[in-house]
Amino acid sequence: MTIPASAERMMRLLVVGAGSTGGYFGGRLAQAGRDVTFLVRPNRAAQLAAKGLEIVSPHGGFTLTPKTAAAGSIDGPYDMILLTVKAYSLEAALDDAAPAVGPGTMILPVLNGMRHVDLLTARFGADSVLGGVCRIAAHLDSQGRVVQLSKFHDLAYGEMSGALSPRAGQFDAFMQNAGFDAKLSPSIEREMWEKWVLLATLGGITCLMRGSVGEIVAAPGGGSFINQFLDEVAGIVAAVGVPPDEKALAQTRAMLTAQGSAFTSSMYRDLQDGGPIEAGQIIGDLLVRARQANISAPLLALAYTHLVIYENRRSAS
């Protein structure tokens, strides 16, 4: 389905969160002339009002004055919601965003894992939820700027059923030509499970070993450890979800065993900074699904125990 540019701009998008992911993709869309509002907390709203939303990127930086909304101030349903918060903030974000959900609202979550799909479906109905996968390396710096660390900035989306529906086409038209790589996917659910394979393995190995992929590979037994962890995670996903494509799995294996690679997980970086982590969403939920299916997962269990100890220490302090 193709719609004219004027119709694209009439559609309203609510971006829940203006951190590194929501700030980047929402900022690009706003810069391209789309109608974008950011649902943000008071501190972030004040920061954006004072300094604007600044994007620092190898594709060209910019600063804009974004439209923002606070919890309790939503003025009615939006056409689309881009949900970009971390897993540990999800339930509060859903309470804040609920007034923006109407009968025809499309919700695109780009969280990690799959538990958020269950929560969204239970609250708003399966018909409201699209599948989504984003690929970007970015963070908020000390000045509140969104800093893109690498050139890739991909956003894929589609119906969980794989159908190329009219509304998915309308969503795709809104996302195109906005300064990032946007793709309507007929196999988005598989892509979501494939990303979970990558993130669970990468998060597990880097947090357990406190190092980058290259540092782990260089250590005695490091490469074997990575391959065993990946095989365990991929086996679980093949049993409880949508099996990863062989080519995608091979690419993931090559990425996770590359000599000299500085690749780390965002969970590892958050842990190094002493911040909250998505252990339950990325590691714990997959472990629960493995146990429900009576699948042995010793490495995943070890990683989760390790991360829960960190979370407990952080909560206690």
**pLDDT 10s digits, 230-255:** 999 999 999 999 999 999 999 999 99
Report the percent of the chain where pLDDT is more than 70: 97
Q: Are 262 and 206 in contact (CB under 8 A)?
A: no
Domain 5-186 has CATH 3.40.50.720: yes
Q: Are 107 and 47 in contact (CB under 8 A)?
A: no
Q: Same CATH fold, 191-316 and 5-186?
A: no
Q: Using the structure block, give the residue that is written with the tokens 């972030």.
A: 44
Domain 191-316 has CATH 1.10.8.590: no
Q: Band the pLDDT of 5: cuts 50, 70, 90.
A: very low
Burial class (CB in 10 A: 0-12, 13-18, 19+), 260: exposed
**Buried b / exposed e along 124-133 (16+ C-beta atoms within 10 A):** beeebbbbbb
Residue 2's pLDDT is what? 37
**pLDDT 10s digits, 23-45:** 999 999 999 999 999 999 999 99
Residue among 295, 189, 190, 205 nearest 246 (CA): 190
Residue 1's pLDDT is what? 34
The answer for 76, left when phi > 0, alpha when psi is -120 to 50, beta otherwise, is left
Q: Band the pLDDT of 155: cuts 50, 70, 90.
A: very high
For the four alpha carbons of 308, 235, 202 and 91, in that order, the dihedral sign comes to negative
**pLDDT 10s digits, 97-144:** 999 999 999 999 999 999 999 999 999 999 999 999 999 989 899 999
Give the domain ranges of the chain: 5-186, 191-316
Q: What is the pLDDT of the chain when averaged over all its residues?
A: 94
Say what the pTM is. 0.90
Q: Where are the alpha helices (DSSP H) in the chain?
A: 5-10, 20-31, 42-51, 90-97, 115-124, 166-175, 188-209, 213-218, 222-240, 246-256, 266-272, 279, 285-292, 298-316
For the four alpha carbons of 72, 76, 65 and 56, in that order, the dihedral sign comes to positive
Asked whether the predicted pLDDT for residue 7 surpasses 90, the reply is no
Residue 87's pLDDT is what? 85
Residue among 131, 123, 124 nearest 193 (CA): 131
| Lowest mean pLDDT, pick from 8-12, 189-193, 214-218 | 8-12
**pLDDT 10s digits, 208-235:** 999 999 999 999 999 999 999 999 999 9
Which residues, other chains included, contact 221 with Cβ-Cβ below 8 Å and sequence gap of 6+?
A: none
Q: Band the pLDDT of 86: cuts 50, 70, 90.
A: confident
Q: Band the pLDDT of 10: cuts 50, 70, 90.
A: confident
CA–CA separation, 166 vs 163, rounded Å?
9
Q: Band the pLDDT of 88: cuts 50, 70, 90.
A: confident
Report the percent of the chain where pLDDT is more than 90: 92
Residue 9's pLDDT is what? 45
